[in-house]
Each structure stands twice: as structure tokens, then as C-alpha cells.
């Protein structure tokens, strides 16, 4: 592509146009009789230089703007310069440094070829014959402006002025010399190259020179002001030193010297300071002694030294704890699964063997509010004899909040990690980092990596805070993170976390924890004696079931606080001396119940079964309903269901349909009737495959018209072949059934191992059925169903089909009667 000129070009008439290679110039504009050194790296341009090297062949050098860098071939301006190669040197990479010299202006007519390089036909420009007197006047003006610029800007050589004066009689040469030498924009240089008329060219050159003169004058004034300020600062420094010497000779007191001496003594007394800290502290103390107490820099430097020396450099407590003592403390301070405590003991054993260094991934506790995440961390700190720190990173969205602000900023201070360590006074505390799920809401990866740099044991031995500026060893800190759910952990953290999930507490566990830990704490917090307020087990169970719906204990603790506050008010008012909160007077303290728990059905019914579900608040009983109606064999689902649950319903329907003969179902019913499956509590979203066996049983009950036992609850995922697969949350689900008064529970056989975490009372009273196939559930739960009746049912179905052929409109009632007669036989 050729970029046309805006100027009128006086082309020299010729019978034949010459053909030349074309070299696009990206970094400069070549003028006639001027030298230009460029770096050539593109292959087509290297081939052109090879073809024209040593001055053997001329070529056209034309400016190609950088905004067309992606175009192939590179666009060039129509007006260029006929040039010759003068020197070639090897450049970086595979490039070459080439020096070229311009000969005269040419006009590119058209592009003839682009391979192996650009080739174009060109014509020469006709030079201006007569030079008007006004042109010589403008040359003098150009020389005058160049003289001013050269005198102000040392980057321009004075020799350029002499060269310009030598070319005074050749205005075109003089204009090209100035245009090539001075710092004009490349577009401006191309405009001057295209302007053949000398008068217009010199006018434009003067405009560009005046703009350059304005820039040079501005820079000169700025440099002069800076130089003046530097001289003034040097003068003040000299006078300050003189004043310092005078005060010293007079024996006056120097506060800054005393402060600097005090800091130096502190540095010497701290034997465990790393060499880097000693060096930095000494330098800053020396600076402090040279500053005036009235200067702002004095306060900034002193504050920095106080932070630097207040950190617990090397202050670690010995790892002299015994594992038996640690196990005892964990059992006393935390009530939870034994497997979780064993995992923590294993980690602490490794730390003890390594001398207090953490080599494994960072511990991350996952659980709902009130499931004991902070209690575990506090128990670990107590067992190890370490300080316990609890910080929240929720809402943090900037790197400076983690790694501190550089000292040059106003109000600079260290990051949250370093501030917490200064408050702890030791370099190996147990630090619980909470609210990871609310950390860095904008998901800025740099903020995530800043926190990971602090807690990752692979790299935190030299953690660099931007304010302190000296590496601090965080490898001895026991970092524990907490989050509500696995999905809310930032992606960068997952590979460096060791996940420990804290299951929700069942009712029995909540009662034990409340009586052992929460009630004594609340009584002390509200100034009430143990003998003054009494809670019964049944009362606590009622509060748990009717006033809270959670996996943890936070809501229960809040409800008990309400009771304690009312008791405290009555105690202050001297109304009574003893209080007993019972089920009868509970509503006077907490108001009417907030939740109504699910209960088992009174009698067996067709199309309703008790399923077991896991929620963020623990286990729950979920009654799944179904009915059939005249239709076209479709299946409808309601209850705010997710995709996985809908697919599970479809799989259950297909399996029941495949077992129609065994269940005594007329196969034609699947095309004559629609089925509607409903999950109550439609406002609550539901998903997951664990309701598969329950849905399968409901569909079988509806189609076979047989009631389902009301004293059994079930859970499990099914496959198209009728196998029952394992599910999660068994502990919570079984507890929900027990709480609702259902003691018969059907679970997948693969989940039998999960029953070991259940309380002994539930294991003693409950009866478990372990399912391998859904057929076992049919025999267990569908009333009036025995697999041995399959043969008779098949005979009856054949008789019914024969009857239908004789009387097409056979009623459903006759089919039922036939079934009844078959059963009597």
C-alpha cells in the first residue's frame, strides 16, 4: 500500500520509469545527502540489504508509520529518498545495524512486487530552479532560531550551527540538514521531505523549530529551578552542620543524638537480631541523629525504628510439649470426631520432630458457623503452649493490607500479619485466619498471592513486608485458615491447603457441648451463679429443634444469651434468687417457636416416603410425595429441584418401568398415566442424587398402588441397573430420622462404616437396613408386596389382557378384583 502525499509533486518528465527495491523505515526519515543508521531485522529487509550492500545498487528508503505495523507488506509513503548502503554491522539477535545515505527525492509510482522484498517503479522530482530572495531571508531566520536552541540545550552540538552556516547558499541542503538533525516528530519530518517548494518548506521548518525552542526553554527553566533548590538545600545543610558544631562547643543537649544512642543500645542488647536488621537499624539510627526533631522525616524515621525493633525477631517458645498432654488438652477443650484430633496430633508430631518448623501444607478448617473452628485452633495453641492470634481477612482487597505500605507513603504502616506478630510478642504463635470466604471479593490474583506468600510454608521463611523492608521468618508460625465451604476457597489456595471438614453437630452432641462449654461461659459472662439458673436436657432439645436450624451452635448460644439477659435483669431487680427455665415457661423468654420440625406420618400411605437430606444446617427429614393421573406417560417434578436431582428422578422412573412385571404393574399404565413427584418446601433449592432410592420407592408405590411404611426413612443414590451407591452426610441424616421418631433407617451398604461416629444411644435404638439394590427396598417398604407373587401376578395380567381383547373398555376396578381373587387363591 502507498500512502499518498498531500503536496503537489513536480515530477520530472521521463520516457521510462526506473525500478528500485523499497526499504520501509520505521524509526526515522532519511533526507538527501544525510546519513541514517537503522536496525534491520525483518527477513525481506535483510534480503534487500544483502542485495544492495557495498553501494552496488540503489534503493528507495521510505517512511512507514508504526500504526501500520501489522499490515503485510508494510505501507510506505509515496515520497521517499533514493539511498545507498554505506556500512553494515552485526546487531543483536539475527538483526543488522545498517548505515544508509540519501541521494535525492523520488516519487513511488506503484508497487511491482513484494517478494523477495518490495520492488516499485519510481520517478524523480524536479528541483526548484530559481531561489527567491524571501527564501534567503527565511534561511537566516532558521539559523537564528537554531543558534538559540543550541545555546540552551547541550544535547545539540554547536558544530551543527557551523554546518548550517556553510550551507547558507544552498537553502534545500540547509533545510534538510536541520530537519534531519533536530528532534521533530517523524510525521513532521515526512511532511518536510514531501515539500519541494523551498519557501513553504522553510516556513514549516520555522514552525517546528519554534515549537522545539519552546520545549527547550521550558526544560531549561525547570533545570535552573532544580539547580537553585539543590544549592539552597546544600547551603542549609552547611549552616545546619555549623549550628550543630556551635551547639556542641557550647555543651547544649541534643535530643536527636540521645534518641539515636538509645536505639543503638537497644540494637546491641538484642542478641537474636538478624544481621540484615542490625545493618538497617544502624543506618536508620545514624540518619535519625542527623535530623532535626522538628522535621517530619524525624518522626517517620523514629516510628519505623520502633516498629523494626518491636517485632519478635527470633523470640520462639521451645517445642517441649508432650503428645500425651496435647491429646489430653484437645479432648478437654474440643468435643468432636476422634479422627480429626488424630490428624492434628499427626501434624504436631511432625512439627516436633523438625524442631518447630512447618513443612506440610497449611491447615484449613471447613465448617458452618458455630462448628468449633476457633475452638480447635485455641485448643491447639493451648496444647502447644503458644500464643493464640485470631485475625480476619474479610473485606481485604489490596496487597498493602497484607504486605504493608512502602515508607514513602503518607501514613505508611506494616501489613496485618506483621502487626499481629508484634502484638503476640513471639515469632511462633498459632494464628487463625478467618473469613477466607469474604477475602478479596474482586478476585484480584495479586491479593491472593500476597496472602499465600505469607501462609505458604514453602516461601514464608523470608516474608518481605513493604514497610519493614527486611525479610521476616514466618515458617515457625502455625497458620490455620477457616472457611464456610470448599467452594468459597480461592483457586490459588486449594493446592497449598490441607482440608479438614468439620461436620455439623447432631442434637445429642449439641446438648453435651452446651452443658460442658457454652452454659458455664454464658453464666460467667452475665454474672450469674451456677446455682441460680438451671437448664434441663429436654429444654435444650426444644430450643435446638424449635428455635434454631443450623449445623453449629451459634444460634443456640444466642438464644441462651437471651435467657441469661432476662435472668440478669430479674436478678438486678431482686425479683428472685433462683430460676428454672422449663418447657412450660420457655416461650416467656424466647417467644413462640420459630421452626416446626418434621414428624413421621401417622399411617402408611400410597405415594409418600420419608427421605433424608443434608443441608448447611445439618440433617433434615424430607417427605417426597407422588401421585398418578390420566395422561400420556409424562413425569412432572416440582419443588425447586436442581439438574442432578431431576436426572435422578428420571433414572428412578426408568428403573421402575423396567421392573413393572415384578411389581405387578400393567405396562400400559406407564403410557396411560402421568406421574407428578413433589418435594415440599418449594422455596428452598434442592439438588443432589441422594434422594434416588426414595423417589424410586414413591414411583413404585404410586404405579403399583401399594402403601409405603411410615416408620422408615431412607437415603441413597441409584443407577439404571438398580444398584444403590453411597452418599454423604450419613451422621446428620440418621440423627434427623432419630429426632423425628423414626428408628428404622435404610442406607447404602457402602455407608455402613460411617455409622461409627454416631452416639451410642442412636446406635442402640435404631435399626439399620443396608441396601445393595433397590429391589431390597421394595420388599422392605412396600406393603402387600412379596417377590413370590410375581408368577401369579403375571398369570393375572395375561388374563386381563385377554379380557380387554373381548371388551376393550375394561375398567380398572375389574383389574383390581382380578388381583384380589388371585391373592385369595
**CA–CA dist 144, 139 (Å, integer):** 9
- Cα separations (Å) of 119 from 2, 19, 806? 12, 7, 97
Which residue of the set 189, 302, 571, 733 is catalytic?
733
The reply to whether 733 belongs to the active site is yes
Helix and strand numbers, DSSP H then E, in the chain: 29, 26
Question: 696: number of CA atoms within 13 Å, CB side?
Answer: 36
The reply to whether 690 belongs to the active site is yes
Radius of gyration of the chain (CA): 45
**CA–CA dist 17, 359 (Å, integer):** 79
* Contact by Cβ (8 Å): 64, 40: no
**CA–CA dist 300, 410 (Å, integer):** 9
Peptide bond into 73 cis (omega under 30): yes
CA 449 and chain centroid, separation: 9
- Cα separations (Å) of 818 from 628, 658, 703, 801, 804? 21, 23, 17, 12, 13
SS3 433: strand
Cell numbers that stand for 298 in this block: 524525624
**CA–CA dist 708, 624 (Å, integer):** 12
- Cα separations (Å) of 536 from 507, 514, 543, 584? 14, 11, 11, 12
Backbone angle region of 251, left / alpha / beta, with phi > 0 → left and psi within -120 to 50 → alpha = left
* Contact by Cβ (8 Å): 34, 102: yes
Encode 369-382: b = buried (16+ Cβ within 10 Å), e = exposed: ebbbbbbbbbbbbb
Peptide bond into 116 cis (omega under 30): yes
CA 554 and chain centroid, separation: 28
Pairing of strands 388-392, 430-434: parallel
Which residue of the set 690, 701, 731, 735 is catalytic?
690
Give the dihedral of Cα atoms 468, 471, 476, 481; nearest 10 deg.
60
Catalytic residue annotation: 690, 733
Amino acid at each position: 500500500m502507498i500512502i499518498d502525499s498531500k503536496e503537489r509533486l513536480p515530477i520530472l518528465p521521463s520516457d521510462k520509469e526506473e525500478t528500485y527495491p523499497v526499504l520501509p523505515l520505521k524509526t526515522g526519515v532519511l533526507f538527501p545527502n544525510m546519513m541514517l543508521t537503522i536496525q534491520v531485522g525483518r527477513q525481506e529487509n535483510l534480503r534487500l540489504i544483502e542485495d544492495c550492500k557495498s553501494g552496488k545498487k540503489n534503493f528507495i528508503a521510505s517512511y512507514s508509520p508504526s500504526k501500520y505495523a501489522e499490515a503485510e507488506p508494510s505501507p510506505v509513503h509515496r515520497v521517499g529518498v533514493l539511498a545507498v548502503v554505506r556500512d553494515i554491522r552485526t546487531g543483536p539477535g539475527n538483526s543488522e545495524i545498517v548505515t544508509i545515505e540519501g541521494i535525492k527525492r523520488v516519487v513511488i509510482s506503484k508497487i511491482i512486487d513484494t517478494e523477495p522484498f518490495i520492488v516499485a517503479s519510481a520517478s524523480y522530482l524536479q528541483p526548484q530552479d530559481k531561489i527567491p530572495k524571501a527564501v534567503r531571508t527565511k534561511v537566516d531566520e532558521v539559523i537564528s532560531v537554531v543558534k538559540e536552541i543550541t545555546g540552551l540545550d547541550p544535547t545539540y552540538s554547536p558544530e551543527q550551527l557551523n554546518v548550517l552556516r556553510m550551507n547558507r547558499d544552498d537553502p534545500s541542503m540547509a533545510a534538510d540538514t536541520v530537519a534531519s538533525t533536530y528532534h521533530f516528530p517523524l510525521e513532521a519530518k515526512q511532511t518536510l521531505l514531501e515539500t519541494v517548494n523551498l519557501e513553504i518548506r522553510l516556513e514549516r521548518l520555522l514552525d517546528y523549530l519554534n515549537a522545539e525552542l519552546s520545549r527547550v526553554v521550558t526544560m531549561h527553566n525547570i533545570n535552573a529551578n532544580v539547580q537553585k533548590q539543590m544549592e539552597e538545600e546544600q547551603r542549609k545543610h552547611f549552616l545546619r552542620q555549623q549550628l550543630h558544631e556551635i551547639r556542641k562547643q557550647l555543651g547544649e543537649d541534643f535530643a536527636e543524638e540521645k534518641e539515636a544512642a538509645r536505639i543503638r543500645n537497644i540494637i546491641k542488647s538484642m542478641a537474636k537480631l538478624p544481621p540484615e536488621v542490625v545493618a538497617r537499624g544502624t543506618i536508620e539510627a545514624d540518619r535519625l541523629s542527623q535530623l532535626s526533631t522538628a522535621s517530619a522525616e524525624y518522626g517517620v524515621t523514629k516510628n519505623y525504628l520502633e516498629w523494626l525493633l518491636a517485632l519478635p525477631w527470633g523470640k520462639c517458645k521451645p517445642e517441649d510439649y508432650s503428645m500425651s498432654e496435647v491429646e489430653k488438652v484437645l479432648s478437654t477443650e474440643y468435643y468432636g470426631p476422634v479422627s480429626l484430633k488424630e490428624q492434628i496430633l499427626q501434624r504436631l508430631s511432625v512439627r516436633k520432630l523438625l524442631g518447630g518448623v512447618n513443612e506440610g501444607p497449611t491447615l484449613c478448617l471447613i465448617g458452618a458457623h458455630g462448628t468449633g473452628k476457633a475452638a480447635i485452633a485455641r485448643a491447639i495453641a493451648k496444647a502447644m503452649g503458644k500464643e493464640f492470634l485470631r485475625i480476619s481477612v474479610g473485606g481485604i482487597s489490596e496487597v498493602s493490607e497484607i504486605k504493608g505500605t512502602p515508607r514513602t507513603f503518607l501514613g505508611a504502616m506494616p501489613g496485618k500479619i506483621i502487626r499481629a506478630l508484634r502484638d503476640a510478642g513471639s515469632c511462633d504463635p498459632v494464628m487463625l485466619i478467618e473469613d477466607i470466604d469474604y477475602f478479596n471479593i474482586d478476585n484480584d490474583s495479586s491479593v491472593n498471592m500476597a496472602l499465600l506468600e505469607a501462609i505458604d510454608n514453602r516461601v514464608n521463611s523470608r516474608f518481605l513486608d513493604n514497610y519493614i523492608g527486611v525479610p521476616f521468618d514466618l515458617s515457625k508460625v502455625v497458620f490455620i485458615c477457616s472457611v464456610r465451604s470448599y467452594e468459597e476457597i480461592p483457586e490459588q489456595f486449594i493446592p497449598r491447603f490441607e482440608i479438614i471438614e468439620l461436620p455439623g453437630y447432631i442434637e445429642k452432641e449439641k446438648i453435651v457441648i452446651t452443658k460442658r462449654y457454652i452454659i458455664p461461659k454464658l453464666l460467667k459472662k452475665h454474672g450469674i451463679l451456677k446455682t441460680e439458673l438451671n437448664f434441663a436436657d429436654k429444654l435444650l432439645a426444644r430450643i435446638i429443634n424449635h428455635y434454631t436450624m443450623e449445623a453449629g451452635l451459634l444460634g443456640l448460644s444466642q438464644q441462651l444469651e437471651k435467657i441469661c439477659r432476662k435472668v440478669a435483669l430479674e436478678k438486678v431487680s431482686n425479683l428472685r434468687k433462683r430460676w428454672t427455665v422449663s418447657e412450660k415457661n420457655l416461650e416467656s423468654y424466647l417467644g413462640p417457636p420459630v421452626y416446626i420440625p418434621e414428624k413421621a406420618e401417622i399411617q402408611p400411605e400410597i405415594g409418600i416416603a420419608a427421605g433424608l437430606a443434608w443441608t448447611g444446617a445439618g440433617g433434615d427429614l424430607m417427605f417426597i410425595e407422588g401421585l398418578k393421573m390420566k395422561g400420556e406417560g409424562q413425569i412432572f417434578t416440582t419443588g425447586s429441584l436442581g439438574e442432578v436431582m431431576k436426572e435422578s428422578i428420571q433414572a428412578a422412573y426408568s428403573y421402575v418401568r423396567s421392573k413393572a412385571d415384578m411389581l405387578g404393574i400393567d405396562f400400559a399404565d406407564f403410557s396411560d398415566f402421568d406421574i407428578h413427584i413433589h418435594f415440599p418446601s418449594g422455596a428452598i433449592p434442592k439438588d443432589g442424587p441422594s434422594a434416588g432410592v426414595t423417589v424410586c420407592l414413591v414411583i413404585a408405590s404410586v404405579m403399583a398402588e401399594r402403601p409405603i411404611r411410615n416408620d422408615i426413612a431412607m437415603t441413597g443414590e441409584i443407577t439404571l441397573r438398580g444398584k444403590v451407591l453411597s452418599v454423604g452426610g450419613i451422621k446428620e441424616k440418621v440423627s434427623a430420622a432419630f429426632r423425628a421418631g423414626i428408628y428404622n433407617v435404610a442406607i447404602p451398604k457402602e455407608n455402613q462404616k460411617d455409622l461409627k461416629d454416631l452416639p451410642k444411644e442412636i446406635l442402640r435404638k435404631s435399626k439399620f437396613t443396608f441396601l445393595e439394590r433397590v429391589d431390597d427396598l421394595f420388599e422392605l417398604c412396600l406393603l402387600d408386596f412379596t417377590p413370590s407373587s410375581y408368577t401369579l401376578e403375571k398369570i393375572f395380567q395375561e388374563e386381563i389382557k385377554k379380557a380387554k381383547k373381548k371388551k376393550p373398555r375394561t375398567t380398572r376396578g375389574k383389574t383390581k378384583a382380578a388381583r384380589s381373587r388371585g391373592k385369595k387363591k
